[in-house]
């Protein structure tokens, strides 16, 4: 299966609040909150690190979860945010925004 590279849209506002990432689309004002696991993936979405590597190096290590299960969850999360256009998915490395300031 081809690698996925994920990057954050430039059309969003984002901020970490007490372990959860708040994200709002500047285009349609849709508001999202990401839980701790999703926030880790979001912050690592630099457009250059493959999603599988983010899952292995960040999610599995920080949350002690099974890799296959974590990968399935990450794929679902990425697909959902991509539908709203706030996370961009590519099959090759791309540039991304800097990570939002964390609290």
Partner 1 sequence: MSLLFEMNQKALNLGLPISVHLDVTYRCNERCVHCYLDHDDHGEMTTAEIVDVLEQLAAAGVFFLSLSGGEVLMRRDFFEIVERARKLLFNVKVKTNGVMIREKEAAKLRQLGVEQIQISVYSHRPEVHDAITKLPGSLKRTIRAIRFLKAQGLKVTIANVLMVGNFTDQAGVIALAKELGVLYTLDPTITPKMDGDTSTVALRIPGSDLRQVFHNQELVGNVEEFCAPPPAPGEDIMEGFPCSAGHTACYISPYGDVFPCVQFPLPSGNVRRQKFLDIWYHSPELKDVRSIRAKDLPTCSTCSHVGTCTRCPGLAYMEGNMRGPSTADCQKSFERTGIPSANMLKLERSRPTGPLIQIQTFANSLPDPALSGGDALCRA
Q: Would you count residue 12 as binding partner 1 (CB under 8 A)?
A: yes
Q: Would you count residue 101 as binding partner 1 (CB under 8 A)?
A: yes
CA distance 60 to 64: 5
Q: Pick from 16, 56, 89, 94: which binds partner 1 (CB under 8 A)?
A: 16
What six digits make up the tokens of 100?
């939002």
7 Cβ contact list (under 8 Å, min separation 6)? 45, 46, 47, 87, 88, 90, 94, 95, 96, 97
Q: Would you count residue 38 as binding partner 1 (CB under 8 A)?
A: no
Q: Would you count residue 17 as binding partner 1 (CB under 8 A)?
A: yes
Q: Least Å distance between CB 44 and partner 1?
A: 16
């Amino acid at each position: 299966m081809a690698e996925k590279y994920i990057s954050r849209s430039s059309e969003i506002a984002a901020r970490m609040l007490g372990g959860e990432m708040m994200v709002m689309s500047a285009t349609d004002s849709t508001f999202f909150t990401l839980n701790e696991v999703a926030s880790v993936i979001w912050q690592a979405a630099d457009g250059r690190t493959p999603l599988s590597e983010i899952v292995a190096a960040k999610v599995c290590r920080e949350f002690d979860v099974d890799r296959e299960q974590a990968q399935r969850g990450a794929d679902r999360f990425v697909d959902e945010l991509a539908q709203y256009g706030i996370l961009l998915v590519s099959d090759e490395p791309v540039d991304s925004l800097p990570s939002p300031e964390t609290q």
